[in-house]
Amino acid sequence: MLKMLRYIFISLSLGAGIVAGAQVQKEKWQPSKGFTLGVNVAGPVNKAFDKSRSGISFLSRMSVKDQMMFLAEAGYENVSFSKKRYHYTSNGTFLKAGLEYDVFKEKEAGSNDNLLFGLHYGYALQEQSASYFIIENGYWDDYTGSIGTNTVNTHWIELTGGPRMELFKNFYIAWTFHIKVAIYRDNPNILAPYLIPGFGNGDNRLNAGFSYTMEYLIPWKKGKTK
Amino acid sequence: MRIKPLLLIVAGFIYLMVPGGCNQDELCLSNQHALQTGFYSAFNVKRDSVLKNTDVYGLDFNNLIYENQDISKMFLPLSFQDDTSVFVISNNSLFDTIWVVHSKELLFISRECGFTFDFTIDTVLYTKTFVDSVALFYPKVIYGENVENVKIYLY
């Protein structure tokens, strides 16, 4: 619920900002082109709220056409915790790639801001194990056991949307809303992953989430007025 | 178009301040490894039967599952350690014993609820003091299902 409220608030705020910006006199402006190197701070933020998780990812966006960008992201996410019913460890990496379309067609002079909607493919490879688990019987003896290390491959498709802006020259910040649908996962019956790197909750086939990124643009073509 | 920088920074601040993810506690079901049985009259199979003042316990186990109760159905927890769970039904100084032969399969329920076993009932054996016959009606004991597995017909 908090997540939804947060999304609504952010959307309304940005919507207001975009409308305000649209009233400014426009010139035919061709924005900078190049590729960015950036970091997704979702991993460190998650770590701050959930000590059992650690991870980070790095991304790059590259201009393909006037309003089209190619995005690639790679990162890792590890989980380790002990619950009453089981102890769990997972180490994994993920890759994402896809195209993003900038719906800001007419930009005001000097603006390199974007409102990006994208379609990405994601893949995660992780090793997980449960070094201990207990099943309580309530009458007969309880059962304790362990699950050895097993490998899980997950593939998913992701729809994204969100604004990106140039905060300082060539330095961008962006937040993105993600809807992710798992299309394939192997080893589903041994132990469903607690968390799939880059995808989220392993119990769900459909996950939604936010990311917040910071990027630095290495331009090969500077923005200019036509 | 141009995005107001302050708004995106505020959005980032909110993102940092509000924990991500909905941590809904999933309801974990208990006693899902119990064989469900019902008592019926051997003379009128459509009529439920009640055993009065009955004790039920596992063989060689001191703890009672039911103690001096009037019961028309029983939930008998199956053993995780053995392939046969043995139960004694004591009714007015008469005793019957039921052997439930089963196999089990490990199941991961969810990240909140952890693991359990699902069971497949192979055979049910019994003595015939006040029990007339036993019918294995549904041989699976599966997490989340609520189905009567065994019908016990009484004299």
What pLDDT does A8 receive? 47
pLDDT band at A153 (very low <50, low <70, confident <90, very high): very high
Q: Is residue B107 part of a domain?
A: yes
For the segment A146-164, the average pLDDT, to the nearest whole number, is: 95
- B151 vs B126: CA distance, rounded Å: 12
Give the pTM. Answer: 0.73
- B39 vs B151: CA distance, rounded Å: 6
Q: Is residue B35 part of a domain?
A: yes
What pLDDT does A22 receive? 47
What pLDDT does A110 receive? 73
pLDDT band at A134 (very low <50, low <70, confident <90, very high): very high
Q: Is residue B61 part of a domain?
A: yes
- A40 vs B61: CA distance, rounded Å: 58
Look up residue A25 and give its two tokens. Answer: 């006199």
Q: Is residue B140 part of a domain?
A: yes
Q: Is residue B96 part of a domain?
A: yes
Q: Is B102 on the interface with A (CB under 8 A)?
A: no
What pLDDT does B27 receive? 84
What pLDDT does B7 receive? 64
What pLDDT does A157 receive? 98
Count other C-beta atoms under 10 Å from residue B87's C-beta: 22
Q: Considering only the beta carbons, identify the residue of B2, B21, B114 that sits closest to A113.
A: B2
What pLDDT does B8 receive? 63
What pLDDT does A127 receive? 96
Q: Considering only the beta carbons, identify the residue of A108, A175, A194 that sits closest to B15.
A: A175
Q: Identify whether the C-beta of residue B7 lies closer than 8 Å to the C-beta of residue A14.
A: yes
Q: Identify whether the C-beta of residue B78 lies closer than 8 Å to the C-beta of residue B141.
A: yes
Q: Is residue B7 part of a domain?
A: no
* CB pair distance less than 8 Å for B1 and A83: no
The secondary structure element, H or E, covering residue A47 is: helix A42-49
Q: Identify whether the C-beta of residue B20 lies closer than 8 Å to the C-beta of residue A42.
A: yes
Identity of the residue numbered B124: V
- B144 vs A14: CA distance, rounded Å: 45
Nearest in space to B150 (alpha carbons), one of B85, B62, B83: B85
CB-based burial, A174-209: b 16+ in 10 Å, e otherwise: bbbbbebebeebeeeeebbbbbbbbbbbbbeeebbb
CB pairs under 8 A between A and B: 142
For the segment A11-40, the average pLDDT, to the nearest whole number, is: 66
The domain tally of chain B equals 1
All domains in chain A, ordered by first residue: 33-103+114-225 (2.40.160.20)
Nearest in space to A202 (alpha carbons), one of A215, A214, A212, A189: A189
Quick one: how far is CA B22 from the chain centroid?
Answer: 30
ipTM confidence: 0.81
> Could you report the per-residue pLDDT of A177-221, keeping only the tens digit for each?
999 999 999 876 678 888 999 999 988 899 998 899 999 999 988
- A117 vs A178: CA distance, rounded Å: 10
User: What's the number of CA atoms in the CB half-sphere (13 Å) around residue B139?
Assistant: 9
Q: Is residue B12 part of a domain?
A: no
- B118 vs B78: CA distance, rounded Å: 10
* CB pair distance less than 8 Å for B3 and A14: yes
Q: Is residue B18 part of a domain?
A: no
Question: Residue B89 belongs to what domain range?
Answer: 23-154
What pLDDT does B17 receive? 54
What pLDDT does A4 receive? 45
* CB pair distance less than 8 Å for B1 and A21: yes
**Could you tell me the mean pLDDT of each successive run of 10 residues in chain B, 155 residues long?**
62 57 65 93 80 94 92 96 96 94 92 91 96 96 95 93
What pLDDT does A28 receive? 74
What pLDDT does B89 receive? 96
* CB pair distance less than 8 Å for A209 and B20: yes
* CB pair distance less than 8 Å for A143 and B113: no
Residue bearing the bigger pLDDT, A189 or A75? A75
Residues of B in contact with A130 (CB under 8 A): 115
What pLDDT does B121 receive? 97
What pLDDT does A144 receive? 96
pLDDT at A222 over 70: yes
